[in-house]
Structure formats: C-alpha cells, structure tokens
Amino acid sequence: MLKVGINGYGTIGKRVADAVAAQPDMTVCGVAKASPDFGADGAVRRGYPLYSARDDRVNAFREAGYELAGTSDDLIAESEVVVDAAPGGIGAENLPRYEAAGVPAIVQGKESDDLVETSFNARANFEDAEGADAVRVVSCNTTGLSRLVAPLEENYGVEKVRATLVRRGGDPDQTGRGPINDILPDPIAVPSHHGPDVNTIFPELSIDTMGLKVPATLMHMHSLNIELGSDPSSEELRELLGGESRVFVVGDDFSIDGTGKLREFARDRGRPRGDLWENCVWGESITVKDSELYMFQAIHQESDVIPENVDAIRAMTGLADKEESMRITDEALGIGLPESRESSAVVSPV
C-alpha cells in the first residue's frame, strides 16, 4: 500500500484523503492542517493521523485538545507521495521541501505550471506524469474543459474553443466571499486565465475563455461553442460524451434544470458530501450546427479534481497505467452516472 500524505486539509484536501482511503492500492498516512477547527475534528474521526501544517500552530492544536502525530516535516518524512492541497501559493513554497526530502508531490490548480514537470488531467495527458516528481493537477474549470476537449480532439479534431465560464463566487464554507448581489466580469481582461491553463494540457489548442463571478456557491457553469474539424450529428456527439466515464450527460427525463437539482440528485444518490466528480452536461443542450458544437456543462468545483489527484499519484509512482488507474479510481469512488432513469441500476433504499 502506497503511503500518501495530504498537506492541507480543506475543501480539496479532505476529499483527496477520503478518495485515497477508498483505493485498494494506497493509504492515507496522515493529514496536515493549519488550524484546529471542525476540519481537524473530521480528520480525527476518520482515523487519519493529524499533523500541524505549521510549526507555530502546534500549541494551538494542543490547547484545543488534539493529539498531534507531528508537524508537516514529520508527515513528509512519513509519506511516499504528498498531495499538497494548501491554499494557493503555499504549494509553491512547499515544493522545495518535498524535493529536499526526495518525496514526489502533487500541487493544485492555483500554483504555477512553471514549478512542475507537467500539469495533469488523467483523460488527456496521464502519460506525461509517469515517473514525474512534481505534478500540478489543473483547476476545476480547466479539468472540466480538458475532459471535453480530449474526446473531441481524438474523434473530430478541434479548430477553436470559445468558453464563457460562469464561476461560483466561493465554496459553501467560504463565508467571506462574494459577490452577494452582483454579476462580475472576472477577470475583466480577455482571455481569462482558463484558456492559457487549458493550453498547459493541450499546447496546440486554439481556445479563448471569458469569466464571470456570480452569487452562487454550488457549482460553476460553462457555456461552450466549439468549432470541430468535421460535422457530426448532435446525437453522435451526445453518444460520444455519454461514453466518457467522467462526463455525466444529464438526461431529459431527470428534469434537472440547474445546479441546485444536480447537487440534490448527487445527495439522493448517496454521494459523499453531495459530490459530483463528473462534468455534468445537459444532453438537451448538445447541438451541432455547421460543425460547431454548442452546450452547457456544470462543474462541481469542490470535487471534479479529486479523481485526477488519485490518478496523478498512480502515474507518478507507476502503480498503474492510464486505463487501469482510471478504472480503479472510478470503481473505488463509484464514478459514472447513467443518462436516463431506464438505465439506472435498481438499488435498495439507503
């Protein structure tokens, strides 16, 4: 069992820890947090050894009654791979520490691509991370876009992507974020950082993105126009995307009209924290006219990068190749949602 340490146990870190714990070939050897808040309580309840992310916070944990396994230096020494899910910018500060300890490390979307050997999306470029010591899992929005571009590029070629990203203002627990009553072009400058970020995965792709922020916390929403290299039918496109394990084509018969119902659907399915690891594409929106694809997809920012972190661990350590890794990850987490009620498996009531 590969020993994985999680440095930074917030929105992303706690989900990565649970996903690693669910895999048959890896185990969580500890998690590091900066504050002794409810998240620390959750880690202890799940049985993860708890470390203080910062030396100057050790007393704060002790005073709050937590028994620490050590500081993040101890966690790094204990780990065969570290997933760094600290706030943006801190991963960059931590990378030299992982390198000095000789421990391969994964950082998250806010860190710069220049700091790592490769940016990563399992569907698109798993092989680039094989044997690497420092890898960056791209942000939630970039993950969602990369998962779409990969099959389109393979099957039809992509001439140009134009994406408008309606971004959630903050995660549900980020009480200080906004806007509260506004719609912000964010960033105002065009293109937004998302297009160049997708180019860290697809260097040759022609893509322009525009971003907005809205008073919502549940998910992001993408409005997409993609010029293809050939002219498939809308039905063919729908079938292609339906065949992707990390794309959920939302069928018409579910009557899901927005992100609120999507998250409720996930909770009804018994998904942990109501997570949706898949891109959620409205089947009815998939429209091809004169080689141009139009569609809407929602992205659950808190969870779509989680399976990607698990696959990055396998790529870096050689635990499995792409197909095998994605299959194991999907199976362990229960990824893959049927498009329609007819194809849903019959399950006993929870």
Ligand X SMILES: O=C(OP(=O)(O)O)[C@H](O)COP(=O)(O)O
Ligand Y SMILES: NC(=O)C1=CN([C@@H]2O[C@H](COP(=O)(O)OP(=O)(O)OC[C@H]3O[C@@H](n4cnc5c(N)ncnc54)[C@H](O)[C@@H]3O)[C@@H](O)[C@H]2O)C=CC1
Q: Which stretch binds ligand X (CB under 6 A): 138-146, 239-247, 248-256, 331-339?
A: 138-146
Q: Which stretch binds ligand X (CB under 6 A): 66-74, 136-144, 255-263, 275-283?
A: 136-144
- Name which of residues 22 to 61 contact ligand Y (CB under 6 A): 32-35, 39, 53-54
Contact letters for ligand Y, residues 263-302 (x by CB under 6 A): --------------------------------------xx
- Among residues 212, 162, 216, the alpha carbon closest in space to that of 188 is found at 212
User: Which residues have CB under 8 Å from 18's CB, separation 6+?
Assistant: 46, 272
Contact letters for ligand Y, residues 119-158 (x by CB under 6 A): --------------------xx------------------
Neighbours of 99 (CB within 10 A): 13
Query: Any idea which residue has 């960033």 for tokens?
Result: 187
Residue of 10, 30, 109, 274 interacting with ligand X (CB under 6 A): 109
Please tell me what DSSP assigns to residue 305: T
Task: Name the phi and psi angles at 71, rounded to 5.
Answer: -105, 180
Q: How far is the CB of 12 from ligand X (least distance, A)?
A: 9
Active site residue 140: yes
Q: Give the C-alpha separation, 60 to 84, whole Å.
A: 22
User: In terms of CB distance, is 10 or 30 closer to ligand Y?
Assistant: 10
Q: How would you class 215 by CB atoms within 10 Å of its CB: exposed for 0-12, middle for 13-18, buried for 19 or more? A: middle
Q: Give the C-alpha separation, 56 to 40, whole Å.
A: 16
Q: How far is the CB of 16 from ligand X (least distance, A)?
A: 14
Query: What is the torsional sign of CA 265, 268, 272, 274?
Result: positive
Q: Give the C-alpha separation, 52 to 167, whole Å.
A: 32
Residue of 71, 72, 141, 303 interacting with ligand X (CB under 6 A): 141
Contact letters for ligand X, residues 181-200 (x by CB under 6 A): -------------x------
Question: Quick one: what does residue 209 bind among ligand X, ligand Y, none, with the CB cut-off 5 to 8 Å set by partner type?
Answer: none
92 sits near ligand Y (criterion: CB under 6 A)? no
Residue of 23, 139, 200, 303 interacting with ligand X (CB under 6 A): 139
Q: Which residues are annotated as a binding site for D-glyceraldehyde 3-phosphate?
A: 139-141, 194-195
The dihedral over CA atoms of 15, 20, 23, 29, expressed in degrees to the nearest 10, equals: -140
Neighbours of 173 (CB within 10 A): 12
CB 80 within 8 A of CB 105: no
Residue of 109, 195, 274, 307 interacting with ligand Y (CB under 6 A): 109
Query: Any idea which residue has 């890794």 for tokens?
Result: 325
Question: Quick one: what does residue 141 bind among ligand X, ligand Y, none, with the CB cut-off 5 to 8 Å set by partner type?
Answer: ligand X
Query: Any idea which residue has 């139009």 for tokens?
Result: 294
Of 26, 86, 140, 221, which one is the catalytic site residue?
140
CB 154 within 8 A of CB 228: no
Task: List contacts with ligand X (CB under 6 A).
Answer: 109, 139-141, 167, 194, 301
Task: List contacts with ligand Y (CB under 6 A).
Answer: 7-13, 32-35, 39, 53-54, 85-88, 90, 108-110, 139-140, 171, 301-302, 305
What is the set of active-site residues?
140
